[in-house]
Chain A
Amino acid sequence: MTEGQGEPMLSDRELFEQIVDILGPLANVGSKITADTDLVADLSLDSLKIMEFLLEIEDRFDISVPINVLSDIRTVRDVIFQLQRLLAEAD
């Protein structure tokens, strides 16, 4: 776990669990979500649901997530990477 100036940074595992928790009701699928799960191909999230996903992430982590990051996000692992970057910037 990386220490920032304020709250301690969340670990990859903690971020993953929180993301899965947010994705659950949006994806509405029984299949197991892993870091390699593709948001569109595996979870069938359409553009509206992906936008809703970002809003939920913003509120869960109390950060700003520009929709510009979407071009760099395909899998859950990509989400974790972008989230770590944004949390570090916000710290």
Chain B
Amino acid sequence: MSAIKIDKITKRFGTKTAVNNLSLEINEGELFALLGVNGAGKTTLIKTLTCLLKPNDGEAYILGKSVTTQADEVKKLINLSTQETAVAPNLTVRENLMMIAGIYGMDKESAKAKTDEMINKLSFGDYENQRAKTLSGGWQRKLSIAMALITEPKVLFLDEPTLGLDVLARRELWELVRKLKGKMTIILTTHYMEEAESLSDRIGVMINSNLITVGTPDELMKKTETHSVEEAFVKIAGGGLNEN
């Protein structure tokens, strides 16, 4: 079964079409990167798949559950790390993790065990009792992602997870995402081509609300006769895709 099946989804805001008749299937355990310039429709697509927006047309299924008619079921299967850091500022690292565990229905013991595990796994030991608002941007972002991971989602949406992070923090996060590969389905949006090339099984490129092409990094480079995903992306964005 596909982890995600998108069937001709269209999302409009007034007269502006943000996602246009988009169809796509993503396999279980796959790490799928969604590339596109600002305003291409990546975040709108993520928001539609996470039940934050309702599509105007079309349908999408997460592990067979409809995002439009079975949103409550879908929400139990997924988690999301938004583009902006989404933490409770006056709560400590530990409290933020415990809160999310509780919201996803874990009992106190399970929530505590999972929180301990996340604190160890993501090296939060020195900061666990520090309030989120006092953490650096990098650590806040890491906490935001930890809050998405603690629920062990079947499908994880990472919307520009490394935005604004320094190179070391970004590399550390890549390692974390790499370790998750195969354990859950991950949909990642990013502006960092190196990130997409290094982490993803397949890449989809969105231009002006449309999904232009999908393929492995090698396939994209081959299609565009380029030597890196960045060059391939630039060529696709410039309309120079060779679909032969």
The answer on A and B forming one complex is: no
